[in-house]
Chains A and B, each alone.
Chain A
Amino acid sequence: MNALQRLFRFNGGVKPDYHKEPSTHLPIAVAPTPTLLVIPLHQSIGGPPRPLVKAGDGVLKGQRIGDADGNVSSAVHASTSGTVVAVEMRLMPHTSGLSAMCVVIEPDGRDEWVERNPFDFRAATPTATRDYLRDAGVVGLGGAVFPSHLKLNAGKQGKLDTLVLNGAECEPFITCDDVLMRERADRLLKGAAIMREMLAASRVLIGIEDNKPEAIAALEAASAGNIDTTIQVVAVPTRYPAGGAKQLIRVLTGIEVPHGERSTDYGVQCFNVGTAFAIYEAIALGQPLISRIVTVAGNVGQARNYEVLFGTSMRDLVALCAPLPDTDRVIMGGPMMGFRMPSDDVPVVKATNCVLVGSQKLFPQPPPEMPCIRCGECAKACPADLQPFEMYWFSRARIFGKAQEYHLFDCIECGCCAYVCPSRIPLVDYYRFAKSEIWAREVEKDAADLARDRYEFRLLREEREKQEKAAKLAAKTAAGREKAAAALAEAEKPARTPDEEAKHALIAAALERAKAQKEQVHPENTGNLTAEQRAEIVAIEARRAEIREQAKPHLRQDD
């Protein structure tokens, strides 16, 4: 049925060894519920959710434990029923080795769901549907974890030409989308139909790399009996990174979405196939996103795909697959774009498509970096049509402005350039470094601009108050211009005015009282307060404790 589909090509790309076979032999297995779940609150792009539970609370499976902070955020849920034992800083699945707020849940083994109700999105307004998906915690499962509700917006025209579902899965080792498509094709298609309706898309193209014939066959079989003929399965040539959203859109529709622009404006939107499945579960079954399929592969005896509850430790997961003794690292994601974990005891999160077990033998330390010989291999391999060696040159010299001029931020960090570089330069490391430096500077600059504005406003306000005060004084004394002028002069003098004197006396008295109190018992200025004030204090206390907690590692470092 897709023979007529015209395909386009993107430049560059590489063909690494795929290593996908081993993890596709066995069907998806459900990973056992661990003894402790550590669920990070911040699992998506956008603001970190606010915790809704505290230590000691009982939670049910699928209960919301973190509330989206604003619209650019996504909720998180308890992956099983049990008791919250702590809401605290825990090591994150992030290269930095830093911690962040997590809800730690001890499962009770009953696996008891909250009440689940299908969501009738046809009866609801688009905004209500998006809010529902935000609160169901649905985010992009391809690895970028961008909140899906923000993308399920048909944009200005109110309709879309093409909805692209990304089943290309081009990274070596990873097969989670492959097995999902093989085993759950029908539900995936139902999810696709829901999305098509929400986006009013004229057609749906499911792009799959042609090295996954089983997945293509499964989806074609499932869609054969489908009434919805607008859904097409399209085999795309196998070439990394065909699964990059922009590259896949290009291959399927010919459209190149420039960096920093929304693809909706070009009439196309792209979602991972796993996300379509999650949307089906959320809308049709009323189940929030609490688990996903994770490939465990690499240096293990039995690679396999598991359905894993978020918060499960990667260590437990890897243990199911008989890791080989020379294992020396755990990588989240694939070998091209994945990130090394600071420890294997970090939780599986929404972004975890693959837990790749590594060893020196499998992923040897590259030979030492040589100077760039400007051979242009990297430029030939770059799918974003960049000149990687120029960006490398300027990032290395810390000339960030120039690096940006060579379109540093168009780089998708796919790693093709570093993969082919004969000088073995860790090019992507330089881009990551330059990008985070540039971001930090932006943040600093924004803060400085804010401070400048506020400072200038304050100066303005002070000036105005001064004048108002002078005017008031003048009116009060009502004794002619000389006195008003004198008062103005008085107000301008830095010396204390009479009412300031009075204030100071008051402060001194308060100080005395405070001192006396301090000596007696402990400082208490919270004597007779209303209930609201008390509640507020509790909230503030919690916040403060959090800040102190966050500050701790830092303080220790400083010592």
Chain B
Amino acid sequence: MLEALLVMALGAVVLGAALGYAAVRFRVEGDPLVEKIDAILPQTQCGQCGFPGCKPYAQAIAKGEAEINQCPPGGEEGIHKLADLLGREVKPLSAEHGIEKPKSIALIDEQTCIGCTLCIQACPVDAIVGAAKQMHTVIAKQCTGCELCLPPCPVDCISMEPIPESVESWKWRYPVVRIVPADKAAA
């Protein structure tokens, strides 16, 4: 009996030592938490979370000053990822910060644009080109769809157009598992 106990105890000690060694030996030097959170945030820079950009929001989450459910563009998936990373509980998107919308880009009605440059100043990613008194236009590839350019426009010439699904961006659906009624299956 005593021998068995000793053997078991010895085994536990050896295993524990091995695990401890592995933990020290193979520890990955992780990015600082803020970087990791920032990597999950969609970088829309829209400020809907109540912070002036994605990075400040990431910092606030890291410090525990903000909830993880304040980013509408990140949507439910973003919340899940944040919850995974931080070991927090998944919450539904907070309604006061907005709702998840299909991804859109800004489109300037160049007929009406007066060239005031106000939208250029508002755009967090410099996705609008144009100069004073010249028509402005949005570089579609760079627009994050943050909508920050909408309010400053004095002539309301900017609209948001959802990005359509194209043959290239189309995704295969999750295969549906057919549920067969028992009687049919028997046949």
Contact = CB atoms under 8 A, between A and B. Distances in A.
Do A and B touch (CB < 8 Å)? Answer: yes
Interface of A: 42, 92, 94, 96, 98, 100, 368-369, 426, 429-430, 432-433, 435-437, 440, 443-444, 447-452, 454-458, 507, 510-511, 514, 523-526, 537, 540, 544, 547-548, 550-555, 558
Contacts of A554: 102, 162-165
A540 B110 contact: yes
B53 A455 contact: yes
Nearest to B53: A455
Contacts of A537: 110, 135
B142 A550 contact: no
B95 interface: no
A450 B144 CA distance: 10
Contacts of A552: 164
A149 to B, nearest CB: 21
Q: Tell me the dominant secondary structure on chain A's binding face.
A: helix
Interface string B111-136: 11111101000001111000000010
Interface string B78-117: 0000000000000000000000001000010011111110
B177 interface: yes
A452 B107 contact: no
8 contacts: A436-B171, A451-B43, A451-B45, A452-B43, A454-B126, A455-B45, A540-B137, A553-B164
Nearest to B114: A510
B142 A525 contact: no
Interface of B: 38, 41-45, 53-55, 102, 107, 110-116, 118, 124-127, 135, 137, 140-142, 144, 154-155, 161-175, 177-178, 180, 185
Contact of B124 (A433, A436, A458, A550): A458
Contact of B175 (A94, A429, A525, A551): A429
A304 B181 CA distance: 41
A455 B53 CA distance: 9
Contacts of B38: 452
Given A448-B43, A455-B124, A507-B118, A555 B162 contact: yes
A94 B165 CA distance: 13
Contacts of A98: 165-167, 170
A458 B167 CA distance: 34
A447 B126 CA distance: 14
A511 B155 contact: yes
A523 B172 CA distance: 44
A456 B137 CA distance: 22
A440 B169 contact: yes
Contacts of B127: 454
A49 to B, nearest CB: 13
A553 B162 CA distance: 10
Nearest to A434: B172
Contact of B162 (A368, A369, A510, A558): A558
A25 to B, nearest CB: 36
A550 B167 CA distance: 11
B43 A449 contact: yes
B110 A369 contact: no
A369 B107 CA distance: 46
Contacts of A526: 111
Closest 9 CB pairs of A and B: A448-B43, A451-B43, A96-B170, A429-B175, A454-B125, A436-B171, A432-B172, A554-B164, A550-B164
Contacts of B135: 525, 537
Given A369-B178, A451-B45, 7 more contacts: A433-B175, A448-B43, A450-B125, A507-B118, A510-B154, A553-B164, A554-B163
B44 to A, nearest CB: 7
A392 to B, nearest CB: 10
Contact of A368 (B161, B170, B185): B185
